[in-house]
Amino acid sequence: MAESNPGKNRIKSLEHHLEEENPVLVDVVRSFRELDLASRQMGFFSKEQSHAFSVPWWPLISVLGVYSSGKSTFINHYLDYRLQNTGNQAVDNKFTVICYSGEDRVRQLPGLALDADPRFPLYKIAEAINAATPGEGRRIDAYLQLKTCPSEKLRGKIIIDSPGFDADAQRTATLRITNHIINLSDLVLVFFDARHPESGSMNDTLETLVKGTIHRNDSNKFLYILNQIDMTAREDNPEQVFAAWQRALAQKGMTAGRCFTIYDTEVGMPIEDEGLRERFLRKRNADVARIQERIEEVRVARAYRIVGMLGQKAVELETEVLPRIEAFLKRWRRWVCWLNLTVFGLLAACFLGVTLWAGYWKGFSLQLPYMERVMGNPWGKWTLVALLAALVVYIHLRVRKFAANQVMRSVLAGIDVKEGHENYRRAFMKNSRWWRSIFRHKPAGWGRRNKARLARLASDANGYVQKLNDVYANPAGKPTADIVPGDTAAENGEVFPDALNGPENACP
């Protein structure tokens, strides 16, 4: 019985889930299958790999920031479930991935549950940790944990609660995980503490989470939240604190994203003055509502991001992966030619020198011992030719392999692990196999068929965007039967509500 393919089984499981969640994406998965086929034919992917695993198919919201900024309290309030421990000091130094479970209880699972499961956003994160801090990948449970929760608000989405940035001793690996999470997230909530808006811990977070987002194409997915603003009620100066915080953001080049001020009404400081309490509560409720609206939108945004990823990967395979492989072949071909000339030239020179020293040359005639006997034998001549040919082929193959190893080492040294270091190594090995001519300029698996396939997949991605627009947008105002049940934005004829883009919350 043939051994089952884990990657193929995971794709089938994904298709089954999407048939109910979002039928449009089922076709997208099938397009990813074709993209995988092209990648495998080029030797870039193994049978277990898939481009579909490079992006989480479930919406992902990450919650980042300094310790004691109210991240866990906000998560508990949003879930309407006391899941995360809270406190004024660092209460957890791990990244906590939170997902839905039908069980009427909370389960806490080790980091291995995330590292080994491609359905979660931190699949094989141990490799990235090892790249940042060699040997730390073995301690995956010291960095990650998985929690399940029965809150209905978790259905169809994943939340990641990060440790405080200055509550962690293993900083290099933590930053690597943080950057990985940010790249995968549909929405990033960055929390600050209104009690210390310009403290050293805030500056550390500004460097890590704000300065690095200036040139991102997806910078609008960042929401900057100044939490525990109720602590300013005694002085009645929330506007001044908010302005000071915005100036700190602006100093790091902050030009995009949305800013909010909130606090938790259950654990916050009592505000005795009724008018003041009403003013704080009104602003707080408006900002919390906007944040929660953005959280609920991520399912729609995720669908568009997945479709965009399909087109991006199809283009990258032709414009980035293919040229790198072709560059390898060009360098490898040049190395093989020069090494062949050098090796066979040296062998010829040695042979000539030895025969001259031994006196086997009579003028321009070479007279080797036993040569007449060998050439006089019908089988002897062909045996000699076969042995010489075998020697030439053997030396050539050794030269090819040596050149491939040297060129591969130099080329791969400039390719990071997250760029597919192992994939390029696999593709280079396939192109340098002994039966492939060094004069073949096109890489293995690349031809008119795959070129046409990638062009069609890039075009299909645009078609999928139009299908999603038919589901989520209705500019003509006509009744449709394709609205996804339960999607408030779609049912109201809105794609991205303008309420979230008000100027009063714009960051400088």
Report residue 433 as tokens.
């196999």
Predicted local confidence at residue 61, as pLDDT = 93
pLDDT of res. 205: 60
Dihedral angle at the C-alpha atoms of 68, 71, 72, 77, nearest 10 degrees?
130
pLDDT tens, 209-230? 676 666 677 778 889 898 888 8
Nearest to 283 by CA among 219, 236, 247, 245: 236
pLDDT > 60? residue 492:
no
Query: Residue 497: what pLDDT?
Result: 32
The per-residue b/e assignment along 269-308, b for 16 or more CB within 10 angstroms, e otherwise, is eebeeeeeeeebeebbebbbebbeebbebbbbbbbbbbbe
Q: Which residue has the higher pLDDT, 406 or 2?
A: 406
pLDDT at 257: 64
Q: How many CA atoms lie within 13 A of 199 on its CB side?
A: 15
pLDDT > 90: what percent of the chain? 25
Question: Which pLDDT score, from 0 to 100, does residue 420 have?
Answer: 74
**CB-CB contact of 108 with 145 (8 Å):** yes
Residue 345 predicted with pLDDT over 80: yes
pLDDT higher at 128 or 94: 94
pLDDT value, residue 44 = 93
Looking at residue 487, what is its pLDDT? 46
How high is the pLDDT of residue 315?
A: 93
The residue ranking higher by pLDDT, 383 or 75, is 75
Cα 452 to chain center, whole Å?
A: 26
> What is the pLDDT at residue 349?
94
State the SS3 of 282-316. Answer: HHHHHHHHHHHHHHHHHHHHHHHHHHHHHHHHHHH
Pairing of strands 107-110, 144-149: antiparallel
Q: List beta partners, residue 147.
A: 98, 108
Is residue 336 scored above 90 in pLDDT?
A: yes
pLDDT over 50 (residue 493): no
pLDDT value of residue 3: 47
Write the pLDDT tens digit of every residue in 346-356.
999 998 998 88
Q: Which two tokens stand for residue 384?
A: 């000699």
Q: What gap in Å lies between CA 348 and CA 365, rounded to an integer?
A: 16
Element (H, E) at 394: helix 378-412
pLDDT exceeds 70 at position 474: no
What is the pLDDT, as a whole number, of residue 50?
86
Three-state DSSP string of 227-251: ECHHHHCCCCCHHHHHHHHHHHHHH
More confident residue, 245 or 76: 76
What pLDDT is attached to residue 42? Answer: 93
pLDDT at position 490:
38
Tell me the pLDDT tens digit for each residue of 10-66: 777 777 767 766 778 888 988 999 999 999 999 999 888 888 877 777 788 999 887
Structure tokens at 199: 């403290």
Q: What are the CA-CA distances from residue 238 to residues 65, 241, 280, 284, 508 (Å)?
A: 20, 5, 9, 11, 17
Percent with pLDDT over 70 in the chain:
81
Q: Are 190 and 222 spatial neighbours (Cβ–Cβ below 8 Å)?
A: yes
Residue 319 pLDDT level (bands cut at 50, 70, 90): very high
Is the pLDDT confidence value at 135 over 90? Answer: no
251-302 per-position pLDDT tens digit:
776 655 688 988 888 777 777 788 888 888 898 999 999 999 999 888 888 8
Q: Where are the domains of the chain?
A: 57-299+500-505
Tell me what pLDDT residue 200 has.
53
Question: Where is average pLDDT lowest: 84-98, 101-115, 345-359, 403-417?
Answer: 84-98
Measured between alpha carbons, how far is residue 230 from residues 138, 268, 483 in Å?
43, 7, 40
Q: How many CB atoms lie within 10 A of CB 5?
A: 12
Say if residues 100 and 83 touch (Cβ distance below 8 Å).
Answer: no
Q: What confidence tier does 496 reach under pLDDT thresholds 50, 70, 90?
A: very low
Instruction: Look at phi and psi of residue 337 and say left if phi exceeds 0, alpha if psi is from -120 to 50, else beta.
Output: alpha
**How much is the pLDDT for 285?**
92
Report the pLDDT value the prediction gives residue 138, as an integer from 0 to 100.
Answer: 81
Residues 250, 251, 253, 257: what is their CA dihedral angle, to the nearest 10 degrees? Answer: -30
Q: What is the CATH number of domain 57-299+500-505?
A: 3.40.50.300
For all residues of the chain together, what is the average pLDDT? 80
Which of 7-16, 179-188, 225-234, 389-398 is predicted least confidently? 7-16
Q: pLDDT band at residue 202, thresholds of 50, 70 and 90?
A: low
Query: Is residue 70 predicted with pLDDT exceeding 60?
Result: yes
pLDDT of residue 504: 46
What is the per-residue pLDDT for 243?
Answer: 80
pLDDT winner (highest mean) among 67-76, 105-114, 155-164, 315-324? 315-324
pLDDT surpasses 80 at 416 = no
pLDDT category at 169 given cuts 50, 70, 90 is: very low
Mean pLDDT of 375-398: 85
pLDDT above 50 (res 482) = no
* Phi, psi (deg, nearest 5) at residue 416: -75, 160
**Spatial distance between the Cα atoms of 8 and 13, rounded to a whole number of angstroms:** 9
pLDDT band at 237; cut points 50, 70, 90: confident
- In this prediction, residue 346 carries a pLDDT of 95
